[in-house]
């Protein structure tokens, strides 16, 4: 205790230098903690978005994720209803589940034949109410501003398209899509005529002239037998899906309509069963249980269980990016603290050389001199850690209540900007402890030099 009080007294002897050193430590720790809280919030926001989109886990046919996205007929799950019921009724999984829903991915050609235009599209067949439940998941209190599912309470032939698809199909005016420049390339009138069988299918799906809507399109896809099939769809909304490549090709329709398009009168299938849990922490337990339930199919190589991190590789890449930036900032701040505290202690040694000689002359050993200066560094470190942590928590609370929002990469809806520090005790304790440790190490070298001074040389120092 005597050493601590003496160290504190020595620091107060030169308040200006001590305060400058303390300020550098506080600013550095605040920067580390605020960025760490921001990166944590960003990761949780992205996780929320991907869990809302994909669910925590998906059951798919083996290798569908790698190479079957454009061929749903070869990778369909035929008995998906039995599997879903088995999952829902399982006594281990049931308490963890929020949604179990099927999804069918397909590709085809969407055409606005009234305008004589068409484009290649990717489409998803979904169960709209269940997808709305998926999007309501918010385990971390992120309060996303995700828009409601546009297919809710719409007819069976409704479809939602990307704004880029709307531009390609010349539906901008009808769907109120802006901006929408007039196509600069004239229609190719010398193109080959539509084959008779496709024209006949389109004619069957086209509404009568009196009932025809300006947002009516047809979609062509290959059936499970390889024959072409066309369904008529009414566009209820054009949405911006975030990424231009996605926005230029994506459409979303009701599952029954997608199954009719791909499978016709044959038994319907899906390409994925999405499973969303109450909490992400339950994912390992749920996956282990699914492995037991689906053991026969998994062992035969018919099915596989994928998590949202596999389905959205950018999530893992974002975590690695933030970890590398956090590590770089921590190292940079650590070096600054190292040199700042080291310089402060070095100057203290020079100014107090005669005092050091006096202390040695009256019997204080080298270890006592080292302990004194290292304690001064530790006192600075503890003060910086406490003040830096408190200020960082105050800044985090200020930011969290500011009402600021941001839009993660690939999203079109915003999340509140948050800095997650309160409750992140490991981050707070680790950063504060590291600062104290660096401060103590920074003071050790000047303390060693002070302890090795010869008593005679120290006493006659001017």
256-261 long-range Cβ contacts below 8 angstroms, 24+ apart: 256/125, 256/156, 257/125, 257/156, 257/157, 257/159, 257/231, 257/233, 258/104, 258/106, 258/123, 258/124, 258/125, 259/104, 259/125, 260/231, 261/106, 261/108, 261/219, 261/221, 261/223, 261/229, 261/231
Burial 36-61 (b: 16+ CB within 10 A, else e): bbbbbbbbbbbbbbbbbbbbbbbbbb
Q: Give residue 285's pLDDT.
A: 96
User: One digit per residue, pLDDT tens: the chain, 462 residues?
Assistant: 577 887 888 788 888 888 988 998 999 999 999 999 998 888 888 888 889 989 999 999 988 888 876 677 788 898 999 999 999 999 999 999 999 999 999 989 999 988 889 999 999 999 999 999 998 898 888 766 677 888 999 999 999 999 899 999 989 888 888 877 766 554 554 444 556 555 555 555 555 444 344 789 999 988 877 788 899 999 999 988 777 778 889 999 999 999 999 988 788 999 999 999 999 999 999 999 999 999 988 888 889 999 999 998 888 888 898 889 988 988 988 888 888 888 888 887 777 777 778 877 887 788 888 888 888 889 999 999 999 999 999 999 999 888 888 776 666 667 778 898 888 899 899 999 999 999 888 888 888 887 787 777 767 765
What pLDDT, on a 0 to 100 scale, did the predictor assign at position 129? 94
Burial class (CB in 10 A: 0-12, 13-18, 19+), 65: middle
What was the pLDDT predicted at 246?
82
Q: Give me the pLDDT at residue 57, please.
A: 96
Give pLDDT, residue 307: 94
| Contacts for 144 with CB less than 8 Å, ≥ 6 apart | 45, 48, 49, 52, 138, 413, 414, 415
pTM, whole model, 2 decimals?
0.79
pLDDT at 272: 94
Helix pair 313-351, 425-451: axis angle to 10 deg: 30
Of 64, 137, 66, 139, the closest CA to residue 103 belongs to: 64
Let me know: does 398 contact 392? Beta carbons within 8 Å: no
pLDDT of residue 211: 39
How many other C-beta atoms are found inside a 10 Å radius of the C-beta of residue 425?
A: 9
Neighbouring CB atoms inside 10 A of 395's CB total 16
Give the model's pLDDT for residue 366: 80
Cis peptide before 179 (omega within 30 of 0): yes
| Alpha carbon distance 49, 146 (integer Å) | 9
């Amino acid at each position: 205790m005597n050493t601590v009080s003496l160290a504190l007294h020595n620091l107060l002897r030169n308040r200006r230098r001590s305060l400058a050193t303390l300020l550098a430590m506080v600013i550095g720790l605040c920067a580390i903690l605020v960025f760490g809280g921001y990166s944590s919030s960003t990761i949780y926001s992205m996780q929320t978005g991907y869990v809302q989109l994909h669910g925590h886990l998906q059951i798919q046919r083996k290798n569908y994720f790698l190479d079957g996205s454009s061929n749903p007929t070869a990778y369909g799950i035929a008995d998906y209803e039995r599997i879903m019921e088995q999952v829902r009724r399982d006594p281990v999984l049931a308490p963890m589940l929020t949604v179990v829903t099927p999804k069918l991915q397909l590709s085809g050609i969407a055409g606005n034949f009234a305008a004589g235009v068409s484009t290649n599209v990717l489409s998803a067949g979904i169960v709209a109410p269940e997808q709305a439940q998926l999007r309501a998941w918010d385990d971390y209190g992120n309060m996303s501003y995700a828009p409601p599912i546009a297919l809710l309470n719409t007819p069976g032939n409704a479809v939602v398209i990307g704004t880029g698809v709307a531009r390609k199909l010349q539906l901008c005016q009808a769907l109120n899509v802006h901006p929408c420049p007039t196509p600069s390339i004239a229609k190719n009138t010398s193109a080959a005529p539509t084959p008779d069988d496709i024209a006949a299918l389109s004619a069957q799906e086209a509404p009568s002239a009196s009932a025809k809507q300006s947002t009516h399109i047809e979609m062509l896809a290959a059936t499970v037998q390889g024959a072409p099939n066309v369904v008529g769809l009414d566009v209820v909304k054009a949405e911006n899906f975030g990424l231009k490549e996605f926005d230029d090709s994506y459409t979303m329709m009701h599952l029954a309509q997608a199954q009719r398009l791909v499978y016709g009168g044959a038994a319907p299938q899906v390409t994925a069963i999405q499973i969303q849990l109450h909490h992400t922490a339950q994912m390992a337990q749920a996956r282990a249980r699914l492995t037991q339930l689906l053991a026969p199919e998994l062992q035969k190589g018919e099915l596989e269980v994928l998590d949202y991190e596999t389905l959205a590789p950018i999530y893992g890449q974002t975590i690695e990016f933030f970890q590398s930036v956090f590590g770089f900032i921590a190292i940079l701040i650590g070096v600054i603290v190292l040199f700042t505290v080291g310089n402060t202690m070095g100057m203290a040694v020079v100014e107090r050389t005669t005092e050091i000689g006096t202390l040695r002359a009256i019997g204080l050993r080298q270890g006592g001199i080292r302990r004194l200066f290292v304690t001064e560094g530790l006192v600075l470190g503890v003060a910086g850690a406490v003040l830096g942590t408190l200020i960082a928590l105050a800044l985090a609370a200020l930011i969290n209540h500011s009402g600021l929002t941001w839009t993660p990469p690939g999203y079109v809806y915003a999340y509140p900007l948050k800095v997650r520090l309160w409750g992140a005790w490991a981050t707070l304790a680790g950063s504060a402890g590291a600062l104290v440790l660096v401060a103590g190490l920074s003071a050790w070298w000047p303390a060693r030099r002070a302890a090795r001074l010869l008593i005679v040389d120290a006493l006659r120092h001017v």
